[in-house]
Amino acid sequence: MEGKLKENVLETLRKCSDLNHLKQLQGYLTTLGHAHTHFYAFKLLRFCALTLSNLSYARLIFHHHPSPNTHLFTAIITAYAAHPATHPSALILFRHMLRSQPPRPDNFIFPHALKACPDSRTTDSLFAQIVKSGFLHYTVVQTALVDSYSRVSGGVQDAKKVFDEMSERNVVSFTAMVSGFARVGDVESAVSVFDEMPERDVPSWNALIAGCTQNGAFTQGIELLRRMVWECNRPNGVTVVCALSACGHTGMNQLGRWIHGYVYKNGFVFDSFVSNALVDMYGKCGNLGKARKVFEINPEKGLTSWNSMINCFALHGQSDCAIAIFEEMVRCGGCVRPDEVTFIGLLNACTHGGLVEQGYRYFEMMVREYGIEPRIEHYGCLIDLLGRAGRFDEAMEVVNGMNMEPDEVVWGSLLNGCKVHGRTDLAEFAAKKLVEIDPHNGGYGIMLANVYGDLGKWEEVRNMWRTLKEQKSYKVPGCSWIEVDDQVHQFYSLDKSNPKTEELYCVLESLVGFRNEVMVELYFYI
DNA sequence: CTAGGGTTAG
């Protein structure tokens, strides 16, 4: 009889599609006196949280239960731990559980609680609890500890300590350690852990490739992708997203297109992450038509999809298109709301299109209509906008009215505007601020020296150069590259190592009308 | 029933 009911309930849950259905089932169980039977409450709660992703009703089920057991606690804590916004609630409930005598935590609950830890102190205390409850010998629990430490600030070393003391390590433990190092920018350590792995699967490769691309090691990321394929691992959607990001940042259009083909053949086109990464790659490689096409066929345009498309147009100075996309986003984006990234793109578009008034309006709109607190990046855009338009009074008004310290971007944008419009007095002020913020950045020192030169202050020019030499701070040379026929050509400013230097300068001269200090070097073959 | 990988931003 009981078995029959159980089957019925599970069957009904499988067919359940919305909250009303769930409530009906709940009512039915209540009439049978089973509303608080642990097994059913657990099933309902899990279904509600995981399938319907209705957290508020899930917590209702939990809090209405007179005596929740370990399973119920696990279910609700899992649900809370799944989203960063509800991490605090997960921990509050977990502490509550530790205080109340039964139910006791089991080994299944610790990994979830560990996921919700905001700092290493919290992870420490969970560590102690795990030891006390005798669950430390589980590999899964230890791996969760490694992962937890590696996510909180300053915790990688603790993660490594736990990792080193593990008696048994599997792919997951290694991968957790790899991404832990990658997260703090220590690509080297990530690589050495990766090299020690006895076996690797697709997520482990992804962890390292993501680590590279997130830390600016794009070429290294691409090399790893090749090695991954060479060693017979099939890249999945995650791999592809990382690789596309690398292609975009380095202008590897050929490889990007090859990956697009791979995406198409393997059905990843329906992955919104992949679609967004494709849009970004095509945009950065200058193929706006393709970018737009990929964007258009994405059936689930999310916030990032819209932002990426806007950024593409902004990057290429197509302010009209960027604005049109923004308006479409507001009109038919569904529940998508513009965020701070959207406005950075939009403001950049206005800057590159010279639309000062429009840019101003969007800035106001961001604050008033969308309630977004302007971040330093937005001020950077605004100063860039005003500076390029030569509206220095307003620019300074904004700088002085900011409720935060102006950063390099702000002063750099102002300096740039000053140079364009010949405002050497203000340029000196901005350049001095730059040097003040980062005295060891040779680039800023050189800019200040140049401004002194413009002003005819030769004594200061000499002093500046002497300081630069004394502290041995040199500017990293400006560099850009272009792909032609499977070859990447790298351009360094002031570099004359390329055999065709003279020819190249002649072409540049005919293009810009004067000689520019930019050079070209053959870099590598794909 | 538990552990690892993801795009956009001057």
SS3 A512: helix
Cβ neighbours of residue A523 under 8 Å, at least 6 residues apart? Answer: A481, A487, A488, A489, A490
Highest average pLDDT, of A100-104, A108-112, A445-449, comes from A108-112
**Which of A308, A304, A300 lies closest to A270, judged by CA?**
A300
pLDDT tens readout for residues A207-253? 999 999 999 999 999 999 999 999 999 999 999 999 999 999 999 99
Contact at 8 Å (CB) between A295 and A323?
Answer: no
A483 bridge partner residues: A488
When pLDDT is cut at 50, 70 and 90, the band that residue A526 belongs to is very low
Measure, in angstroms, how far nucleotide B1 C1' is from residue A109 CA.
9
When pLDDT is cut at 50, 70 and 90, the band that residue A38 belongs to is confident
On chain B, which bases lie within 7 A of the protein's CB atoms? 1-10
**A378 C-beta less than 7 Å away from strand B:** no
Task: For residue A283, give both structure tokens.
Answer: 């945009």
Contact at 8 Å (CB) between A518 and A491?
Answer: yes
pLDDT tens readout for residues A440-492? 888 888 888 888 888 888 988 888 888 888 877 666 565 666 666 666 666 66
The predicted pLDDT at position A28 comes to 80
Nucleotide nearest to A106 (CA to C1'): B2
DSSP letters, A380-413, are HHHHHHHHHTT-HHHHHHHHHH-SS---HHHHHH
Highest average pLDDT, of A27-31, A51-55, A279-283, A427-431, comes from A279-283
Report residue A121 CA to chain centroid gap.
Answer: 26
- CB atoms inside a 10 Å sphere around CB A91: 20
Measure, in angstroms, how far nucleotide B7 C1' is from residue A55 CA.
27
Greater model confidence, A240 or A434: A240
Percent of chain A with pLDDT over 90: 56
Measure, in angstroms, how far nucleotide B9 C1' is from residue A136 CA.
42
Q: What is the pTM of this model?
A: 0.86
The predicted pLDDT at position A432 comes to 87
| Complete edge-to-edge strand list for the sheet that includes strand A479-484 | A479-484, A487-493, A518-525
Mean pLDDT value across residues A146-159: 95
Mean pLDDT value across residues A313-325: 94
When pLDDT is cut at 50, 70 and 90, the band that residue A522 belongs to is very low
Reported as half-sphere exposure (CB side, CA atoms, 13 A), residue A200 has a value of 24
Q: Locate the domains of chain A by residue range.
A: 378-476, 479-525
Greater model confidence, A502 or A227: A227
Cβ neighbours of residue A260 under 8 Å, at least 6 residues apart? Answer: A278, A294
Nucleotide nearest to A172 (CA to C1'): B4
**A409 C-beta less than 7 Å away from strand B:** yes
The predicted pLDDT at position A451 comes to 81
pLDDT at A519 over 50: no
When pLDDT is cut at 50, 70 and 90, the band that residue A425 belongs to is confident
SS3 A151: helix
pLDDT at A107 over 70: yes
Instruction: Give the position of tokens 């399973």.
Output: A71
Query: Looking at the domain that runs over A378-476, which CATH code has it been given?
Result: 1.25.40.10
pLDDT at A275 over 50: yes
**A433 C-beta less than 7 Å away from strand B:** no
The predicted pLDDT at position A148 comes to 97
A139-177: string of b/e by CB count within 10 Å (b at 16+)?
eebbbbbbbbbbbbeebbebbbebbeebeebeebbbbbb
Write down the mean pLDDT value for chain A.
88
**A250 C-beta less than 7 Å away from strand B:** no
Q: What is the number of residues in chain A?
A: 526
Mean pLDDT value across residues A413-434: 87
Instruction: Give the position of tokens 């709660």.
Output: A45
The predicted pLDDT at position A325 comes to 96
pLDDT at A191 over 90: yes
| Chain A span 168-207 residues with beta carbon within 7 Å of strand B | 170-173, 175-176, 179, 201-204, 206-207
Mean pLDDT value across residues A268-294: 95
